[in-house]
Amino acid sequence: MLKIGLTGGIGSGKTRVADYFQSWGASVVDTDVIAHSLTAPGGRAIEAIRREFGAAMIGPDGALDRGAMRELVFHDPAARSRLEAILHPMIGEVTREQAQRAEGCYLVFVVPLLIESGRWRDKVDRICVVDCDPATQVARVQARSGLTQEAIERIMSVQVSRETRLAAADDVVLNDGATTLGQLEARSRALHDGWCKLAARKDSTGKDKVY
């Protein structure tokens, strides 16, 4: 299958764009959704996190206390590495399982830190960036999550710059503050149609790359 790596900064609109692609027949594997399931009540990562970080990092509902963990890893890079050592192998395993079951005209991997990880360039045929200016990112995340501007900017600080992300992109979906939902859908649809043609060409040639 043609493999697309979909990424973008926090608040860029990756999920909405991925939902469009899925509704039009693509298979979507979202690593953020996988991470949330692993750290939900009863999730596969919960006991390992409890052993590594203590019960204080587990909320009353049995899920990861995301606020507490966010504060810890922001101030302690070693703690971030310890958390990643638990989560990344599990996320990778579930990602592979879902990808193997995928059906559709092409496969989309939604990876928030795709560029930052440095591990995805050779795993996908194309990288698609959902692009948004930083001010709009902050406004959107505040509206949906109630996080403070400082907390949002902390999250953005561990993500690559807009310029770096765009430089790595094969395809871009603009979703800035002036973008309407109709425009976003039309821009996404244009990419979908192009990828379907590429997927058909890839199927006919048997090649692993389309560019």
Residue 32 lies in a domain: no
Question: In CATH, what number is assigned to the domain containing residue 174?
Answer: 3.40.50.300
Rg (CA), the chain: 18
Cβ(121)–Cβ(127) under 8 Å?
A: yes
Same domain, 117 and 20: yes
Q: What is the number of domains present in the chain?
A: 2
Same domain, 8 and 46: no
Continuous segment of H or E residues that includes residue 147: none
How confident is the model over 55-96, as pLDDT tens digits? 999 999 999 999 899 889 888 889 999 999 999 999 999 999
pLDDT of the residue at 203:
64
How confident is the model over 118-162, as pLDDT tens digits? 888 899 999 999 999 999 999 999 888 878 888 888 888 888 999
> Mean pLDDT over residues 161-168, rounded?
93
Same domain, 93 and 136: no
Number of Cβ atoms within 10 Å of the Cβ of 158: 13
pLDDT-based confidence at 13, cuts 50/70/90? very high
Distance CA 122, CA 45 (A): 27
pTM: 0.88
Kindly report the length of the chain: 211
Dihedrals phi, psi of 32, to nearest 5 degrees: -70, -40
Residue-range definition of the domain harbouring residue 58: 40-103
Same domain, 20 and 111: yes
pLDDT of the residue at 70:
87
Type of residue at 115: I
Residue 147 lies in a domain: yes
How confident is the model over 26-51, as pLDDT tens digits? 999 999 999 999 999 999 999 999 99
Residue 174 lies in a domain: yes
Same domain, 122 and 158: yes
Residue 167 lies in a domain: yes
Same domain, 5 and 83: no
